[in-house]
Amino acid sequence: MLKRKRLLITLLLALAVLMSGCSLPGLSGAADNTIKVGTMSTSESQIMGNIVRLMIEHYSDAKVEMVNNLGSSIVQHQAMMNGDIDISATRYTGTDLAGALAMDSVKDPEEALKIVQREFLKRFDQTWFDSYGFANSYAFTVTRELAGKENLKMVSDLEPLVSNLKLGVDNSWLKRKGDGYQGFVEEYGFEFGKTFPMQIGLVYEAAANGKMDVVLAYTTDGRIKANDLQVLEDDKHFFPPYDTSAVARNDVLEAHPELEGILQKLSGTISTEKMQELNYEADGKMKEPAIIAEEFLEENDYFETKK
Amino acid sequence: METIHDIVYYYSQNGAYVWEQFYRHFLMSAYGVLFAAIVAIPLGIFIARHNKLSVWVISLANIVQTIPALAMLAVLMLVMGLGTNTVVFSLFLYSLLPIIKNTYTGIRNVDHALLESGKAMGMNKFQVLWMVELPMAMSVIMAGLRMALVITIGIATIGTFIGAGGLGDIILRGTNVTDGTPIILAGAIPTALMAVIADVVMGWLERKLSPIKKRKGSLKKNLREQAA
């Protein structure tokens, strides 16, 4: 009986492997002409993933399949290495320096980009494209009103007022090593009057309602715009850069020579403010990322005129 | 009330997308059941003939059914990777039991007298199967397919976790967004609706194919004719 069971399991596995190679009409295209784009579960990642998909569909005959809801950058990386996906839509320089590459963080955004581009080519044979033009990092944020009244533009501008200010941050940042509060105090040389840890989703409204004076926000979150907040420039480059790019495997780029040019068209096209807007469409206005991406590209004519 | 308004708004914004995912979701379920039918119906007939095997085959299919869907997807993902094919394969496995069991029961329950008269008319084995057993068992087999389809529509929802898309994508997005209740409902309602529609349509087919029903109808007609 054991023998028969083993035979059955082998058969099942063989069938599974066989099936993973085939394509079902209506669900997936032929394997050699299908490009798989992986995204994370954030709205931002899915919007960018759909933009990449629509760009490829617009400029080439290749079929694109979306693999949504990958858990994190590391999962994306593993899926790339396994061949489950061919392109990851959003990869952040700071995240992958620490994650996939296990290197120390680098403060200068351009240098960080250069390092990941070089290392990904060398270690994984993958191409890390130039940034889309936005970065999703931490940023000190105040109401537009306060910024106007006190003429705040950079984080250093906070120094004279700081002892009277209440700071709202997400739960982990205060105790975090490296780019946490401790490091911040050392780098900028001042401390806030009071700090309040809270859920990241609450900081935007807390600032808008005047419960907090300064909050630490995620820069591409649409709620910055929705609550009319202003981001202060991190003038000492304390936070590591989280510039966002697409990453593709080189064997895929070779199989589809037109792909590289298509992805390059997207570099530098979306500012952090624009990404806030797009994210807000998804998070605040209940639009699906696929629809937002389509509208965005139609508005910009699929970047036809960009070289 | 607010929520209902939001759901309507959501559909007006994303109608095309929802329809796309609806179609995708249905295709995944349908493929799973279709492949299972190709394997399970012959298997069911086979074990009906070889009764000793039936215990083994059915208990094995039973075991498959007890594996939690999320665990099944996770294990299959390790072998097959991410994507729709993995989901279709797991739906295939879940569809096996209801189809095998119903085919087996349907074929076993065909009246012996009918089989004997078929043989007496000079039918060979294949003709008995094709002209007597299958028509008699068809409604029971259809009931198996119906059950399988309804199960798979439900399970296909979690395919979103391995990047297969479908209506589960909408539900999962709702859980990631602030105030996502309308989005969650906007994904869940079509899923439930699809299961109900599939159940009704397959139920109708099942009744159409049932030999008993036909006989009843003609019996009534006969009675009416007699009364007239």
Judging contacts by C-beta atoms under 8 Å, the chain B residues touching residue A8 are 60
Residue A92 structure tokens: 């952040």
If you classify domain A31-135+242-303 with CATH, what class do you get?
Answer: alpha beta
Q: Find which of A20, A218, A286 to mutate to test the B interface (most B CBs within 10 Å of its CB).
A: A286
Query: Is A41 touching B (CB cutoff 8 A)?
Result: yes
The answer to whether the complex's ipTM is over 0.85 is no
User: CB contact, 8 Å: B71 with chain A?
Assistant: no
pTM: 0.81
Contact between chains at B14 and A82 (C-beta distance less than 8 A): no
Contact: B10, A28; criterion CB under 8 Å: no
* Domain spans of chain A, in order of start: 31-135+242-303, 138-231
Domain enclosing residue B217, as ranges: 2-227
**According to the model, what pLDDT value does residue A200 have?**
76
Domain A138-231: CATH architecture, name and number where available: 3-Layer(aba) Sandwich (3.40)
Per-residue b/e over A134-169, b at no fewer than 16 CB within 10 Å? bbbbbbbbbbeebbeeeebeebbbbeebeeebbbbb
CB contact A225 to B (< 8 Å): no
The CATH number linked to B161 is 1.10.3720.10
B182-192 residue pLDDT tens: 999 999 999 99
**Alpha helices, DSSP H only, in B157-180?**
167-176
Q: Among B22, B75, B86, B173, pick the best mutation site for testing chain A contact (most A Cβ within 10 A).
A: B173
* Chain B interface, best mutation among A1, A41, A69, by max B CB count within 10 A: A69
Amino acid A238: pLDDT: 87
**Interface check A257 vs B, CB under 8 A:** no
Q: How many CB pairs under 8 A join A and B?
A: 107
Other beta carbons within 10 Å of A305: 7
A113-125 pLDDT, tens digit each: 999 999 999 999 9
Count Cβ neighbours within 10 Å for each residue of A53-88 and write b for 16 or more, e otherwise.
bbbbeebbebbbbbbbbbeebebbbebbeeebbbbb
Average pLDDT rounded to a whole number, residues A154-169: 90
Paired tokens of A136: 């999703």
Task: Mark yes or no for CB contact B9/A287 under 8 Å.
Answer: no
Mark the ranges of chain B whose per-residue pLDDT is less than 50: none
Residue A30 has pLDDT above 60, yes or no: no
Say what the pLDDT of residue A290 is. Answer: 92
The tens digit of pLDDT for each residue in A88-118 reads: 999 999 888 888 888 888 888 889 999 999 9
